Amino acid sequence: MILDALDRPRRQLAEVDYALLWSVLLLLFTGMVMVYSASIAIAEAGRSTGYQSAYYLWRHAIFLVIGLAAAGVAFQFPLAFWQRWAPVLFMAGVAMLAVVLIPGIGKDVNGARRWLSLGLVNLQPSELMKLFAVLYAADYTVRKINVMHDFKQAFMPMAGVMALVGILLLKEPDFGAFVVIIAIAMGILFLGGLKARLFVILIMVLLAAFAVLIVVSPYRRDRIFGFMDPWADAFGRGYQLSHSLIAFGRGELFGVGLGASVEKLFYLPEAHTDFLLAVIAEELGFAGVLIVVLLFAIMVQRAFAIGRQCVQLDRLYPALVAMGIGIWLGVQSFINMGVNMGLLPTKGLTLPLMSFGGSGILANCVALAILLRVDWENRQLMRGGKL
């Protein structure tokens, strides 16, 4: 009896996907260290921070504690709960996207209205909307699984809903979040059985629509031109990308050393948020960036492996949720890394689990808790237990 009691915690730990868990924890820890390093200069110079070098570190740590606490709570709920409440959560997300556009309620930062002020912190609804999009798109696909071959019945309702979300996001504007949410919805529909030929046509239509959005928007055109040749206007539209590339160049193989970045000293804008990877590249070099890329690759691979395991157990909704989370984090991290390296036009997307930002950390932690719950339920079923 005593030996059984001592062995019980060990058996419970064995019910966790260690590769997924450790990759997530390492990304969170590395992110906290690098946010501190990247934000020291701006924190010491800011009157609103009280000139404290650790201002952003403490805020990030608080966001992380809140995110992990929310993750612990989210893990307790079975996937049946998330499926039942998915439509309600999605509608709540749409409502928040609408409320944030109301003058006097939504908070303006750098010309964008993306935040709801909650006193000490700001809530960014578009970050939560990514999670709600995963849960809703998976539920929608399960409900439409028998008509996924039918364009009118399977795709058009989802297209209408995504168009509404897109209009609200572009009003903020938050083009990056719009791209990620569209990728989530299209990816889940494809995994749910949408015809490959139809999927290719839809991708072409979406690319054409994105091209139109870029052409009709002057600031998006400037970003494209700045991306194509940042050195042509290195002090104007190519300023951010040119300094990001300088950071990558200075880092070389093993970096200039933790805390020794020059670009974070008011040269590289948003060094602790959108361009955190550039600081990692400068301070930790190619080796540091490679480790970060590998950790994200492991996390996404485990998400899809858990999803495939669900399919074998005939659990369609959890399978689509797991793979949807993999698509979300994979696409967003790929875009952020591509922007930092000059492979993609500049977009306002943070690096998941690592960049400074409370709403993003909260949404990421809850999503990964749900993913771990999917894996836990799979293991219970394979052992002949009950959920």
Q: DSSP string of 52-116?
A: -TTHHHHHHHHHHHHHHHHHHHHHTS-HHHHHHHHHHHHHHHHHHHHHTTSBTTEEEETTEEEEE
Percentage of the chain lying above the pLDDT 90 cut = 63
pLDDT, average across residues 209-225: 71
Indicate the pLDDT class of residue 5, thresholds 50, 70 and 90.
Answer: very low
Beta-carbon contacts of 146 under 8 Å, excluding residues fewer than 6 positions away, are none
Q: Does the pLDDT value for residue 206 go beyond 80?
A: no
Look up residue 307 and give its two tokens: 């999803």
106-109 and 122-123 beta bridge pairing: unpaired
- Give Cα separations from 373 to 81, 319, 366 (angstroms): 12, 12, 10
pLDDT at res. 109:
75
Q: Does the pLDDT value for residue 195 go beyond 70?
A: yes
The pLDDT mean for the chain works out to: 89
pLDDT at res. 1:
41
Helical segments of 252-344, H only: 276-312, 316-341
**Of 14 and 288, the one with more pLDDT:** 288
pLDDT, average across residues 208-212: 75
Indicate the pLDDT class of residue 246, thresholds 50, 70 and 90.
Answer: very high
pTM across the whole model? 0.92
pLDDT, average across residues 247-272: 94
Please report how many Cα atoms fall inside a 13 Å half-sphere around the Cα of residue 183, on the Cβ side.
20
Q: What are phi and psi of 79, to 5 degrees?
A: -65, -25
Look up residue 68 and give its two tokens: 């992990």
Indicate the pLDDT class of residue 163, thresholds 50, 70 and 90.
Answer: confident
- From the list 88, 82, 31, 152, the residue with the least C-alpha distance to 324 is 82
Indicate the pLDDT class of residue 152, thresholds 50, 70 and 90.
Answer: confident
Indicate the pLDDT class of residue 118, thresholds 50, 70 and 90.
Answer: confident
Q: Does the pLDDT value for residue 283 go beyond 90?
A: yes
* Other C-beta atoms lying within 10 Å of the C-beta of residue 294: 11
pLDDT, average across residues 356-367: 96
- From the list 200, 199, 157, 163, the residue with the least C-alpha distance to 181 is 163
**Of 89 and 1, the one with more pLDDT:** 89
* Other C-beta atoms lying within 10 Å of the C-beta of residue 324: 30
